[in-house]
């Protein structure tokens, strides 16, 4: 660890300050008042990313030299919970049986189990509903990206973020580049004008096929959808948001603006299951930035060219995934960024630190906006129509009321019908 | 371009002067200087239109040009256009070798408007026969074809033969003024941009009962990659040509996506989206689509680094001529080049590079791979260097045509 502002002494001061501030905060549960409080978190969604987030959370607490524990786990099935439990045990964190909740309403039981923080890492279809329950119960939250699959979900997360802010709750999102040193340094340089006025760019997540789980004849629709979630747009939002939202987020973060218009193409070359595309190419226009265009390319097809990252070009230089190269070839020294070297840990460091200091951090709106920007591109590719940001972000926009089914609520009620595999959207109208 | 040949009188002076200075014109043209013998290869809608544009331009320049021969795969089509210009049927040639018969006549200026797969062979034959050429875009469907056009274009230059291409934006006043200012440096440097040809579906011809493979492919050429190069080449080449022209060089690499949403016949995609990297951090996003009921846009957007602009307050933009629209002006510019060696014009390389740029994008979208310019024009070991669409022009001439299956399209990547 590079010593930045978070030396142990500094941190202790911060913690004390946070302790002192607690008198003024009503949002921490009664048990959290006073000093020496152990912050507790519950994990909803015990897949690979969820388990990773829990481990990162524990590591962050260690880094901050504070005590924080994972005290509850929730998932729709028992098996992943056990895997997560075993993994957390390695880090000295034991979750008792009574705090392991199974089922589609497990998140409610977890929220009621006395945790201070919830880590939400289910497939994104569930995020708005789970986040709503967490905010209603006054819990701080870590919300994995993306945070919705449709415009209605995105609008809801923005509203919930505002509500969380009113309650003084911290919300950190899993768009971890915002907590990554190279990106933070690059963002600072770009904001200070290092590459001059930005004229355009391209953002990429072009790679190989993701995993899939072919349907087992014994599975119910519900089981199949949740096991193979990454191949259904109703569950994941399609890969342009499930995966590529990271790069889209960097685009809007660095530009400090949202695109006003998206026109896109996309299709399905080789995906085997589900109803998603496997490639998208979007022309995003930033009307508020004198018509800057950024091209977004995302693909999940084996044997194809790969590139992941972001490139923005300005009149003085180019930004490539946080690194600055000037046209003049002069070198630019990136500013020193304090914190943990692992961005996945650092996001939890920032979450815990903001809670301890009583200075809520709230990333709900920014991650919801980036997800909605991805959704603009997806709708444009699916339909062949241009899509404005307001079309998805405003309830009275053209696609403002678009909501997929099954919804998170349908899953809770057990009313789930799997959409047909291999039926994908076809843009435009048939040629007569 | 405005100058000595602006008025009919000036044109006549130019024509007379040209008659004296040029030896490449056929014997009958020497000293006469009143017009040219014109032939058309490819008598479809565009061919008929190009011929009418050419004759209108000739008339405007005071030339008494004459249509002396037509050629088409289908003799009936050659006769159809020929009739309009008073040609007897024996001057209207049909079949795979019709172009040879046309080139063997006393024709001096040859207009080429067949499907682009034939262009490299026809163009090379025309240059070998010492003809001036107008050739429709695009001019190839594969890398060897593009290189052949560049090579024949160089030979044309050596022989003093003029070559104009149907990328008519290069003959539009607005585009020429823009290019002039960009090349003068007063707009700054192009650092990015988007080029579009997104529109509705084109026409198609269903296969007729008992139709041969060759006849079907020729009739429905705009749906087969082997014939048209796919619509990124056939149509979008216009916009890619602007990018190459304005930036001043072809791209270095292409990475692209494409697919087929609703096309009914043939084996082409109906949309492509390509990230062209021109080097130096300059990316051009190309989007083209032929699907009904979708967003449409045709044009080009460029982003300029204004900070790099050169101040030239005294810059005088020439008054570029555009009379009768760019489709007619391109023929006027061809004729002026033939008449006055100071106005010599040869667009073979530019249009070949634009076509190859589009071919590079198509290979990228068909394969999912990153394609380098050098793979098409320089690296003989590259798997793309010798990539040849079959059936080729030669196969058509030999009568060895097997149509590829309808509806079997390229799938990028692998399982």
Cβ–Cβ below 8 Å for A293 and B193:
yes
What is residue A66's predicted lDDT score, i.e. its pLDDT? 96
Is any Cβ of chain B less than 8 angstroms from the Cβ of A286?
no
DSSP state, residue A385: S
Helix pair B45-60, B75-84: axis angle to 10 deg: 30
CA proximity to B141, closest of B358, B406, B290: B358
Residue A203: strand, helix, or coil = strand
State the nearest Cα–Cα gap between A98 and chain B, in angstroms.
45
Q: What residues in B contact A304, CB-CB < 8 Å? A: 367-369, 412-413
pLDDT tens track for A351-403? 999 999 999 999 999 999 999 999 999 999 999 999 999 999 999 999 999 99
Question: Is residue A29 within 8 Å of A116, Cβ to Cβ?
Answer: yes
More confident: B82 or A430:
B82
DSSP state, residue A113: T
Beta strands at B297-305 and B189-199: parallel, antiparallel or unpaired: antiparallel
Task: Indicate if the pLDDT at residue A28 is higher than 80.
Answer: no
Which whole number is the average pLDDT over A7-15? 38
What is residue B8's predicted lDDT score, i.e. its pLDDT? 33
Which residue from B294, B308, B368 is facing A315, i.e. has the nearest CB? Answer: B308
Task: Indicate if the pLDDT at residue A7 is higher than 60.
Answer: no
Distance separating alpha carbons of residues B116 and B126, to the nearest angstrom: 15
What are the structural domain ranges in chain A? Answer: 8-178+343-369, 198-335+373-413
State the nearest Cα–Cα gap between A307 and chain B, in angstroms.
10
Contacts of A160 (CB under 8 A, 6+ apart): A128, A131, A132, A135, A364
Cβ–Cβ below 8 Å for B295 and A386:
yes
Q: What residues in A contact B364, CB-CB < 8 Å? A: 305
More confident: A235 or A315:
A235
How far does CA B331 lie from the centroid of its chain? 13
Cβ–Cβ below 8 Å for A318 and B281:
yes
CA proximity to B299, closest of B239, B234, B232: B239
Cβ–Cβ below 8 Å for B194 and A283:
yes
Cβ–Cβ below 8 Å for B370 and A305:
yes
> Per-residue DSSP letters for B167-232?
-GGGGSHHHHHHHHHHHHTTT-EEEEEEEEEEE------PPPTT--HHHHHHHTGGG-HHHH--HH
What is residue A270's predicted lDDT score, i.e. its pLDDT? 96
Name the band, by pLDDT with cuts 50, 70 and 90, for residue A251.
very high
Share of residues in chain A with pLDDT > 90 (%): 88
Which residue from A304, A325, A384 is facing B413, i.e. has the nearest CB? Answer: A304
Task: Indicate if the pLDDT at residue A79 is higher than 50.
Answer: yes
Q: What residues in A contact B201, CB-CB < 8 Å? A: 431
Residue B79: strand, helix, or coil = helix
CA atoms within 13 A on the CB side of B242: 26
What is residue A422's predicted lDDT score, i.e. its pLDDT? 83
Q: In what order do the strands lie in the sheet with A117-120?
A: A100-102, A68-75, A39-44, A117-120, A140-143, A171-173
Distance separating alpha carbons of residues B132 and B18, to the nearest angstrom: 14
Name the band, by pLDDT with cuts 50, 70 and 90, for residue A2.
very low
Distance separating alpha carbons of residues A321 and A182, to the nearest angstrom: 8
- Nearest residue on chain B to A283, judged by CA atoms? B285
What is residue A395's predicted lDDT score, i.e. its pLDDT? 98
Rounded to 5 degrees, φ, ψ at B233 are: -85, -50
Fold of A198-335+373-413: Dihydrodipicolinate Reductase; domain 2 (3.30.360)
Distance separating alpha carbons of residues A318 and A308, to the nearest angstrom: 16
Is any Cβ of chain B less than 8 angstroms from the Cβ of A379?
no
What is residue A36's predicted lDDT score, i.e. its pLDDT? 64
Question: Model pTM?
Answer: 0.89
CA proximity to A262, closest of B273, B304, B281: B273
What is residue B33's predicted lDDT score, i.e. its pLDDT? 56
Cβ–Cβ below 8 Å for B283 and A201:
yes
> Per-residue DSSP letters for A49-95?
HHHHHHHHHHHHHHHTT--EEEEEEEESSHHHHHHHHHHHHHTT---
Cβ–Cβ below 8 Å for B369 and A313:
no
> Options 3.10.180.10, 3.30.420.10, 3.20.20.60, 3.40.50.720; which CATH number does A8-178+343-369 get?
3.40.50.720
Contacts of A76 (CB under 8 A, 6+ apart): A102, A103, A104, A106, A226
What is residue A15's predicted lDDT score, i.e. its pLDDT? 38
How confident is the prediction along chain B (415 residues), in pLDDT tens digits per residue?
A: 333 333 333 333 333 334 333 333 443 343 345 899 999 999 999 999 999 999 999 999 999 999 999 999 999 999 999 999 999 999 999 999 999 999 999 999 999 999 999 999 999 999 999 999 999 999 999 999 999 999 999 999 999 999 999 999 999 999 999 999 999 999 999 989 999 999 999 999 999 999 999 999 999 999 999 999 999 999 999 999 999 999 999 999 999 999 999 999 999 999 999 999 999 889 999 999 999 999 999 999 999 888 889 999 999 999 999 999 999 999 999 999 999 999 999 999 999 999 999 999 999 999 999 999 999 999 999 999 999 999 999 999 999 999 999 889 999 999 9
- Nearest residue on chain B to A305, judged by CA atoms? B369
- Interface probe with A: pick from B187, B220, B261, most Cβ of A within 10 Å: B261
Q: Could you give the angle at the alpha carbon of A70 between the alpha carbons of A66 and A73, nearest 5°?
A: 170
State the nearest Cα–Cα gap between B191 and chain A, in angstroms.
7
Residue B39: strand, helix, or coil = strand
Q: What residues in A contact B285, CB-CB < 8 Å? A: 202, 281, 283, 293, 295
Distance separating alpha carbons of residues A415 and A152, to the nearest angstrom: 20
Is any Cβ of chain B less than 8 angstroms from the Cβ of A303?
yes
Which residue from B204, B260, B368 is facing A301, i.e. has the nearest CB? Answer: B368
Task: Indicate if the pLDDT at residue A21 is higher than 50.
Answer: no
């Amino acid at each position: 660890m590079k010593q930045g502002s978070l030396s142990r002494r500094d941190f202790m001061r911060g913690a004390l300050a946070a302790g002192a501030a607690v008198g003024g905060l009503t949002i921490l549960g009664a048990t959290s008042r006073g000093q020496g409080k152990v912050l507790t978190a519950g994990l909803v969604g015990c897949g690979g990313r969820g388990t990773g987030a829990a481990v990162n959370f524990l590591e962050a607490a260690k880094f901050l030299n504070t005590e924080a524990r994972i005290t509850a786990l929730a998932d729709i099935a028992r098996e992943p919970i056990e895997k997560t439990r075993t993994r957390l045990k390695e880090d000295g964190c034991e979750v008792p049986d009574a705090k392991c909740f199974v089922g589609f309403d497990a998140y409610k039981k977890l929220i009621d189990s006395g945790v201070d923080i919830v880590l939400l890492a289910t497939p994104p279809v569930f995020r708005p509903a789970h986040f709503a329950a967490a905010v209603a119960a006054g819990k701080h939250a870590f919300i994995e990206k993306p945070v919705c699959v449709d415009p209605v979900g995105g609008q809801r997360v923005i509203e919930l973020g505002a509500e969380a802010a009113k309650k003084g709750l911290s919300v950190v999102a899993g768009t971890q580049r915002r907590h990554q040193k190279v990106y933070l340094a690059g963002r600072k340089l770009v904001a200070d004008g290092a590459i001059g006025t930005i004229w355009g760019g391209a953002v990429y997540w072009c790679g190989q096929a993701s995993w899939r789980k072919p349907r087992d004849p014994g599975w119910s629709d519900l089981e199949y959808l949740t096991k193979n979630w990454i191949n259904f747009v109703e569950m994941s939002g399609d890969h342009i948001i499930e995966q590529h939202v990271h790069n889209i987020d960097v685009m809007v973060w660095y530009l400090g603006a949202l695109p006003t218009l998206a026109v896109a193409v996309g299709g399905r070359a080789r995906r085997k299951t589900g109803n998603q595309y496997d490639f998208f190419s979007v022309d995003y226009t930033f009307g508020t930035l004198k018509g800057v265009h950024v091209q977004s390319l995302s693909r999940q097809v084996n044997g194809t060219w790969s590139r992941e990252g972001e490139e923005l070009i300005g009149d003085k230089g180019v930004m490539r995934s946080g690194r600055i190269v000037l046209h003049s070839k002069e070198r630019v020294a990136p500013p020193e960024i304090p914190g943990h070297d692992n961005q996945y840990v650092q996001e939890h460091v920032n979450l815990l630190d903001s809670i301890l200091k009583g200075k809520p951090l709230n990333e709900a709106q920014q991650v919801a906006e980036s997800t909605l920007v991805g959704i603009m591109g997806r709708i444009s590719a699916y339909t062949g129509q241009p899509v404005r940001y307001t079309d998805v972000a405003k309830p009275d926009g053209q696609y403002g009321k678009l909501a997929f089914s099954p919804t998170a609520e349908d899953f809770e009620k057990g009313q789930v019908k799997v959409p047909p595999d291999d039926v994908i959207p076809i843009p435009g109208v048939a040629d007569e | 371009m405005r100058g000595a040949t602006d008025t009919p009188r000036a044109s006549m002076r130019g024509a007379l002067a040209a008659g004296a200075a040029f030896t490449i014109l056929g014997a009958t043209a020497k000293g006469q200087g009143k017009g040219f013998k014109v032939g058309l290869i490819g008598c479809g809608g565009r061919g008929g239109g190009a011929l009418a544009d050419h004759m209108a331009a000739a008339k405007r320049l005071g030339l008494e040009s004459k249509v002396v021969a037509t050629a088409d795969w289908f003799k009936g089509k050659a006769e159809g256009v020929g009739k309009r210009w008073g040609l007897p049927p024996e001057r209207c040639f049909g079949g795979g070798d019709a172009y040879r018969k046309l080139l063997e006549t006393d024709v001096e200026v040859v207009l080429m408007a067949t499907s682009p797969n034939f262009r490299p062979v026809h163009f090379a034959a025309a240059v070998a026969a010492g003809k001036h050429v107008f050739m429709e875009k695009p001019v190839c469907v594969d890398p060897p074809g593009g290189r052949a056009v560049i090579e024949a274009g160089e030979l044309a230059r050596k022989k003093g033969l003029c070559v104009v291409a149907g990328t008519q934006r290069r003959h539009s006043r607005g585009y020429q003024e823009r290019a002039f200012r960009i090349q003068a440096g007063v707009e700054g440097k192009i650092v990015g941009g988007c080029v579009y040809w997104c529109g509705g579906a084109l026409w198609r011809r269903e296969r007729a009962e008992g139709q041969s493979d060759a006849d079907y492919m020729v009739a429905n050429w705009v749906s087969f990659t082997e014939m048209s190069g796919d619509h990124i080449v056939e149509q979008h080449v216009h916009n890619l040509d602007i990018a190459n022209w304005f930036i001043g060089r072809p791209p270095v690499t292409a990475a692209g996506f494409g697919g087929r949403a609703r096309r009914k016949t043939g084996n082409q995609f109906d949309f492509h989206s390509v990230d062209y990297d021109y080097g130096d951090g300059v990316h051009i996003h190309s989007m083209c689509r032929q699907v009904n009921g979708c967003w449409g846009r045709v044009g080009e957007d460029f982003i300029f680094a204004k900070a790099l602009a050169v101040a030239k307050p005294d810059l005088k933009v020439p008054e570029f001529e555009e009379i009768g629209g760019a489709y007619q002006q391109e023929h006027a510019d061809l004729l002026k080049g033939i008449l006055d060696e100071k106005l010599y014009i040869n667009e073979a390389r530019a249009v070949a590079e634009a076509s190859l740029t589009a071919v590079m994008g198509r290979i990228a979208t068909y394969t999912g791979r990153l394609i380098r310019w050098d793979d098409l024009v320089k690296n003989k070991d590259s798997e793309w260097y010798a990539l040849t669409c079959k059936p080729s022009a030669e196969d058509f001439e030999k009568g060895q045509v097997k149509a590829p299956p309808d509806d079997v399209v390229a799938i990028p990547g692998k399982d």
